[in-house]
Amino acid sequence: MCGHCNLEPEFVLHCLLDCHKVHAVWDSFGADNFAWFWLENNIVKWIQKGINDIGTRFITIIWWIWRARCDECISLQVITTQMVMHRASMMASDIDKCYGVSAVSVKQVRWVSWVFPISNVTVLNVDGSSLGNPCWSVP
Ligand SMILES: [Zn+2]
């Protein structure tokens, strides 16, 4: 059983994403801005998308979620959502400084569309946007 909530089997994806105890962390981060975030059920793909779309901050949040879970299970010490977010933010900032990466901000998802052309006209989509693209299009 999950050592954090003691309600569900302790699978990695549950511990890092699905556990109701970590939902507040991801809500605080703004996970709803990423269409894939709550829908992915493959841990490897979820982490890959997190690294690609969010960057260092995603990894440090995962690390602090796991750390908070272990502290609570092993030493009965509770790390609050605010502490997880603060420490993850500080760690991401330190890592980015070490590697010369500028601060990564939360990307905003922007849905785009187009208007059907007037008849007898061909339109070529060249702006890189498409719905259903297996890869994320980046403006
Ligand atoms: Zn749980």
Structure confidence by residue, pLDDT tens digits, 8-66: 998 899 999 999 889 989 998 889 999 999 998 899 999 999 999 998 899 999 999 99
- What is the reported pLDDT for 4? 80
State the distance from the centre of ligand 1 to the C-alpha of 59, rounded, in angstroms: 19
State the distance from the centre of ligand 1 to the C-alpha of 1, rounded, in angstroms: 8
pTM over 0.75: no
State the distance from the centre of ligand 1 to the C-alpha of 73, rounded, in angstroms: 11
Q: Please identify every residue whose CB atom is under 5 Å from ligand 1, which is an ion.
A: 2, 4-5, 19
> What's the mean pLDDT in 55-79?
90
State the distance from the centre of ligand 1 to the C-alpha of 101, rounded, in angstroms: 33
pLDDT reading at 108 higher than 60: no
pLDDT reading at 139 higher than 90: no
Phi and psi, residue 122, nearest 5°: -105, 135
State the distance from the centre of ligand 1 to the C-alpha of 14, rounded, in angstroms: 6
Q: Which residue has the higher pLDDT, 136 or 80?
A: 80
State the distance from the centre of ligand 1 to the C-alpha of 9, rounded, in angstroms: 8
> What's the mean pLDDT in 85-101?
87
Cβ contacts of 101-106, under 8 Å, gap ≥ 24: 101/55, 101/56, 104/54, 104/55, 104/56, 104/57, 106/29, 106/30, 106/33, 106/54
